[in-house]
Amino acid sequence: MEIVASGIRPTGNLHLGNYFGAVKSFLQMQNEYQCYFFIADWHSLTTHPHPDNIRNSVKTILAEYLACGIDPEKAALYVQSDVREVAELYLYLNMNAYLGELERVTSFKDKVRTQPNNVNAGLLTYPSLMAADIIIHKAVKVPVGKDQEQNMEMARHFARRFNNIYGVDYFTEPASFHLSAKAVKVPGLDGSGKMGKSEGNAIYLIDDEKTIKKKVMKAVSDSGPTEPNSEKPEPIANLFAMMEIVSEQSTYDHFNELYNNCSIRYGDMKKQLAEDINLFCAPIRERILDILANEEYLEKVARQGAEKARASAAKTLSEVRQIIGFRP
């Protein structure tokens, strides 16, 4: 059976970008593949060096994964830092990762701009840790959103380079996976770019109806089109992109028609969008709260997941050690 691996950083609650960019694929893939889904807590140290309460944020993401429908009996659902073999593989990959290529990664350059006082080596080598996460299970498919494309390219480089350096055909190059023909980018509603935790524009699965409404109603729009069938400027295109993701097709078509004949009222559109987002989030929100209250269950899931992931990781690592020339 083909192997799948993917993770999410525990730097905040799960938001709609995480769900539609990644988790939605996880839900489908867990029925068809051998899956490893994890909470990338080591990665979060690159931006959050003093995690206030890492145990709680990990627990929350775990509950959110479960509330979305990840089945821990089907997929290995685990915490990255429970699988220390990943750190050893990261070390080996770093020995063959070059400063020039790491410095060229766009997300690294962004972080240099946004956190100039903390340009740490973990940030620089973020892509090799991510590659280790994936190839430690010899995963071939990686469900991720569009923002991870460059990291995935790097993961393929590192897998290929390992094979070349040691003269083996050991790792397969992992490919990004998307449910539809193209990678998903869930937009932010603040005018431009993607939805994200660090962008400060996220709508979280745990948000209540009032919070969702408040966030959607203040989405950036404009005074409306004056020419029929005109092209949508980015903030408006983003509103429509969000509606396409969460609403019925007929709802989208209705507002699209109003846009095209210049009679759209963005207030109405936002109200509908907020309702549809709430309809989607409400049942998940309830399950998150239920699951969070069950500490014992969460602990059991994390333990079980770590066992499954460590079995797979230990096998790879023993073979990798042998290939490099260490005792297995």
Q: Which residues are catalytic?
A: 111, 194, 197
Smallest Cα–Cα separation from 93: which of 20, 180, 157, 170?
Answer: 157
Distance CA 111, CA 49 (A): 14
Residue closest to 25 by CA, chosen among 156, 173, 175: 175
Q: What is the size of the binding site for ligand TYM (CB under 6 A)?
A: 27
Q: How far is CA 38 from CA 2, 42, 64, 301, 308, in A?
A: 17, 11, 12, 12, 12
Which listed range, 18-26, 232-240, 256-264, 294-302, lies at the site for ligand TYM (CB under 6 A)?
18-26
Residue 61 binding ligand TYM, by CB under 6 A: no
Q: Does 144 bind ligand TYM (CB under 6 A)?
A: yes
Q: Does 127 bind ligand TYM (CB under 6 A)?
A: no
| Residue in 41, 82, 85, 147 binding ligand TYM, rule: CB under 6 A | 147
Residues pairing with 79 in the sheet: 39
CB of 13 to ligand TYM, least distance (A): 11
Judged by CB, which is closer to ligand TYM: 130, or 264?
A: 130
CB-nearer residue toward ligand TYM: 150 or 163: 150
142 makes contact with ligand TYM (CB under 6 A): yes
Q: What are phi and psi of 145, to 5 degrees?
A: -80, 175
- Which residues touch 111 (CB under 8 Å, ≥6 apart)? 46, 47, 119, 123
Q: Closest approach of Cβ 61 to ligand TYM, in Å?
A: 9
Interface residue list for ligand TYM (CB under 6 A): 5-9, 17-18, 21-22, 40, 43, 130, 133-134, 142, 144-148, 151, 184-186, 194-196
